[in-house]
DNA sequence: TGCCATACTTACGACGCCGTAGGTTACGGA
DNA sequence: TCCGTAACCTACGGCGTCGTAAGTATGGCA
């Protein structure tokens, strides 16, 4: 069950020492170690939050001592910043990359599906993005990074709105609403895993597109590409 | 600007000592102090999170020393638990209390409006509910308390679904989607305050009811009671 | 083979925070 | 006016954590 990308190619703990001789621990290149620390940090931040995670623990899980972390990132905040930055990039890339197709409904489908994809593939990253950043007011005054993501999606809606004769000033509102819909449902789905992802996506699009009034019984995705 | 209810009737700091004689500090009854600590705790937890808040700081802001907090709540977790419990009660009361009217669309309107109301009136409480709980897996495996709230709303949807011939197994999904929609939008709205609350509610209901396809240009609330 | 940059360590100082032991003050009633 | 109870305080022990100073091993390359 591939929960999260884990590039760490080696066991974090030193090998069980089959021989009496103390097996000299594998030495990584700077880059390798850096990536490994990022992976571990992401995992820990996701499950304990920023303040709840200690540098010592990160270092320990990497089978390494504290100063190594300081060497690479200058501290906890540094590491966290890089983790968050990468996840935001990734999510944004996935969402915008999925926005193919001209029909607005197709766009909606792709976006929703991409977000669910991200949530499934990079669960830890998603958990971090949903939490509050420690250095609040960094980007502005947004409470959650996800809310921030939504603002980057709103221009897509804005264009659509304009072409339909709606007030484009409302696009941020609707963007937040749509993202919130998918995000919270995704969060819930992570713990239930009951309907399959594609089915969840179909229902979400069904709701977003037709509304409660025109709800269909057995919704199907139209422009569905990847599994 | 009444951001949050703040029952604290006295300044937290001791009076600036106008005379040379050390002005003896006001003494509260147990109940008063308890409420005051809850207020302060709510505020601090909202802005710094659970782990980021220290008992010392809470006590200090109350113009009191640490052991007082321990006397009343037995520790940080105790205080936090009470704060969370009260906020969940409050939100739930407001939402369920607003569910009057028979037409499903009216129900939706009332609920959405109530949630926005709560967000506006008890901002700090909302911020706490949106964050993760420190003792995760306490209620189950839910990441956010809001998600938990949604599950308590789903049976309303469930009934409606059954009467419409939809699969009631899907009501949790749609409940999460609807709550997520309002919650994230509310969070965003807290920092923008651009359209008025009633207008936001109208648009949200518009989206939830008609969907993107049947969007109306100037939505109006129907069963709108209080301001 | 020997050098040396780079990866990594042990050890420590300082600080903040949790939680408690035990003493002190105010206040209301007899 | 005295006394008991409820509200509150000072002072500490202990722990975990951050971040740094200074030294050690490793392995590629001349």
B42-98 tens-digit pLDDT = 999 998 999 999 999 999 999 999 999 999 999 999 999 999 999 999 999 998 888
B107 vs B119 pLDDT, higher one: B119
Backbone angles phi, psi at B195, to 5 degrees: -75, 150
Can you give the residue range of the structural domain that contains A95? 85-210
- Neighbouring residues of A175: CB distance < 8 A, sequence distance ≥ 6: A150, A151, A153, A154, A157
Closest to A83 measured CA to CA, from A134, A11, A9: A134
Closest residue of chain A to B207, computed from CA coordinates? A211
Q: The tokens 């308390």 sit on which residue?
A: B145
Are residues B65 and B137 both part of a single domain? no
Chain A with chain B: Cβ pairs closer than 8 A: 172
Are residues B43 and B111 both part of a single domain? no
Q: What is the mean pLDDT of chain B?
A: 81
* Positions of chain D reached by protein Cβ under 7 A: 6-11, 16-22, 25-27
Q: Answer whether any strand C atom is within 7 A of the Cβ of A65.
A: yes
CA distance B193 to B122: 15
Nearest-Cα distance to chain A for B215, in Å, is 9
Domains contained in chain A, number: 2
CA distance A143 to B130: 10
Among A141, A150, A189, the residue with its CB nearest the CB of B191 is: A141
- Tell me the per-residue pLDDT of A136-149, one tens digit each, with 9 for 90 and over: 544 445 667 888 88
Residue A12 lies in a domain: no
Query: pLDDT grade, residue A173 (50/70/90)?
Result: very high
Are residues A163 and A62 both part of a single domain? no
Residue B134 lies in a domain: yes
Q: Answer whether any strand D atom is within 7 A of the Cβ of B97.
A: no
Q: Dmax over Cα atoms in chain A, in whole Å?
A: 77
Residue A36 lies in a domain: yes
Query: pLDDT grade, residue A67 (50/70/90)?
Result: very high
Classify B144 as helix, strand or coil: strand
Residue B120 pLDDT > 80: yes
Are residues A101 and A166 both part of a single domain? yes
Residue numbers in A near B211 (CB within 8 A): 207-214
Are residues A127 and A36 both part of a single domain? no
Closest to B191 measured CA to CA, from A152, A179, A81, A173: A173
Q: Answer whether any strand D atom is within 7 A of the Cβ of B28.
A: yes
**Inter-chain contact B180–A178, Cβ cutoff 8 Å?**
no
Are residues B138 and B205 both part of a single domain? yes
Among B131, B132, B204, the residue with its CB nearest the CB of A177 is: B204
* CATH number of the CATH domain containing A97: 1.10.357
């Amino acid at each position: 069950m591939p929960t999260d990308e884990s590039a760490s190619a080696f066991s974090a703990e030193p090998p069980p020492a089959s021989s009496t001789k103390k097996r000299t621990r594998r030495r990584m290149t700077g880059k390798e170690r850096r990536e490994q620390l990022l992976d571990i940090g992401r995992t820990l931040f996701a499950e304990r939050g920023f303040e709840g995670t200690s540098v010592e623990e990160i270092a320990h899980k990497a089978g390494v001592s504290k100063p190594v972390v300081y060497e690479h990132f200058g501290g906890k905040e540094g590491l966290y910043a890089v983790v968050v930055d990468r996840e935001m990039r990734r999510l944004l890339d996935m969402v915008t990359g999925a926005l193919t197709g001209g029909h607005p409904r197709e766009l909606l489908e792709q976006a929703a599906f991409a977000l669910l994809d991200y949530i499934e593939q990079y669960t830890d990253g998603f958990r971090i993005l949903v939490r509050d950043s420690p250095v609040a007011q960094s980007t502005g005054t947004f409470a959650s990074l996800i809310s921030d993501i939504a603002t980057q999606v709103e221009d897509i809606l804005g264009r659509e709105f304009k072409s339909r004769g709606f007030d484009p000033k409302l696009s941020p509102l609707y963007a937040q609403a749509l993202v919130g819909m998918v995000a919270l449902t995704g969060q819930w789905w992570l713990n239930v895993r009951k309907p399959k992802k594609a089915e969840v996506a179909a229902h979400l699009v069904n709701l977003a597109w037709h509304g409660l009034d025109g709800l269909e019984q057995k919704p199907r995705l139209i422009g569905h590409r990847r599994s």
